[in-house]
Amino acid sequence: MRIPFFAGNWKMNNTKNAAVNLVSELRDKLKGLRSQYAVCVPFTDIEAVQRAAEGSRIGIGAQNIAWADKGAFTGEISAAMLAELGVGYVIIGHSERRQYFGETDRTVAMRTQQALKNNFVPIVCIGETEAERMAAKTDAVNERQLRSGLEGITADEAKRLIIAYEPVWAIGTGKTATKEDANDAIAFIRKVFAGMFGADAASMVRILYGGSMNAKNSGELMSMPEIDGGLIGSASLSADDFFAIVNSGEQKFV
Ligand code: PGA
């Protein structure tokens, strides 16, 4: 069985005090749940959030990582900087990075390699736009982003990855993929993954759904066999909602 995993993607929300308050609420609520979970917070919140989460099972994630070790990369944050703050997870290739900040499949691969080399768990995001879905290109786009985004990675490293399938048209829009569509897309991604890294790695890799996942729809999404958890944006900013979503993973344990 794959242990469900849920990551809150806070995006550019919550200054330090708000971040500490939210994590303090979360640590009590999430305590009894068996899934794994993390909050992926703005760089400037990491240190305070880490302290507030100490002794709990809340993992700490960043929302990006530089591909280089150090040097002249204005505005970037290195693996060593994140490691010193106790970061365990890094979101890579989120569609907002691709859309607004020039992230490409190539830079996704470079960042993913760097994250793995430095023992982080990369949460690699892929997913089609609305136009691509309309043109029946969903599987082709996911395959391309997966193959090029994971270039240069070994089968052993692949076992440590988390993939997030996030249809771009569902992110922040209130539109969710149907549970069947999400399950089908993820099943296809797992098949491609198996072709790249072997059946063993494919049976272990956790593939999350992301895109307007919330307290209302998480139960049915998590009832699908291929969906191993969620990458949650706006609903992760509420402790009650994030708890309800993580709680929906409990059904996988029976
Ligand atoms: P959303 O964001 O839940 O607000 O749609 C998901 C994401 O971007 O990871």
Using alpha carbons only, give the angle 243, 241, 159 rounded to the nearest 5 degrees.
55
**pLDDT tens track for 119-150:** 999 999 999 999 999 999 999 999 999 999 99
Nearest CA residue ID for atom 6, ligand 1: 233
How much is the mean pLDDT over the chain?
Answer: 97
* Structure-block tokens of residue 84: 């010193």
Closest approach atom of ligand 1 to CA 171? 5
Determine the distance separating the centroid of ligand 1 and the alpha carbon of 186, expressed in angstroms: 17
In this predicted structure, the answer to whether residue 73 has a pLDDT above a threshold of 90 is yes
Determine the distance separating the centroid of ligand 1 and the alpha carbon of 32, expressed in angstroms: 25
Determine the distance separating the centroid of ligand 1 and the alpha carbon of 95, expressed in angstroms: 10
Determine the distance separating the centroid of ligand 1 and the alpha carbon of 71, expressed in angstroms: 32
What is the per-residue pLDDT for 82?
98
Our mutation pick for probing the ligand 1 site, out of 41, 64, 213, counting the most ligand atoms within 8 A of Cβ, is 213
Determine the distance separating the centroid of ligand 1 and the alpha carbon of 114, expressed in angstroms: 24
What is the per-residue pLDDT for 175?
87
Our mutation pick for probing the ligand 1 site, out of 90, 96, 231, 245, counting the most ligand atoms within 8 A of Cβ, is 231
Closest approach atom of ligand 1 to CA 214? 3
| Mean pLDDT to the nearest integer, 2-15 | 98
Please tell me the pTM assigned to this model. 0.97
Ligand 1, pocket residues at CB < 6 Å: 9, 166, 171-172, 210-213, 231-235
**pLDDT tens track for 12-28:** 999 999 999 999 999 99
**pLDDT tens track for 38-67:** 999 999 999 999 999 999 999 999 999 999
Closest approach atom of ligand 1 to CA 211? 5
**pLDDT tens track for 166-193:** 999 999 898 888 999 999 999 999 999 9
Residue whose pair of structure tokens reads 């797992």 in the numeric block: 190
What is the per-residue pLDDT for 17?
97
Closest approach atom of ligand 1 to CA 232? 3
Our mutation pick for probing the ligand 1 site, out of 5, 6, 9, counting the most ligand atoms within 8 A of Cβ, is 9
In this predicted structure, the answer to whether residue 223 has a pLDDT above a threshold of 90 is yes
What is the per-residue pLDDT for 185?
97
Contact, 13 vs 233, CB < 8 A? no
Binned at pLDDT 50, 70 and 90, residue 254 comes out as confident
**pLDDT tens track for 230-245:** 999 999 999 999 999 9
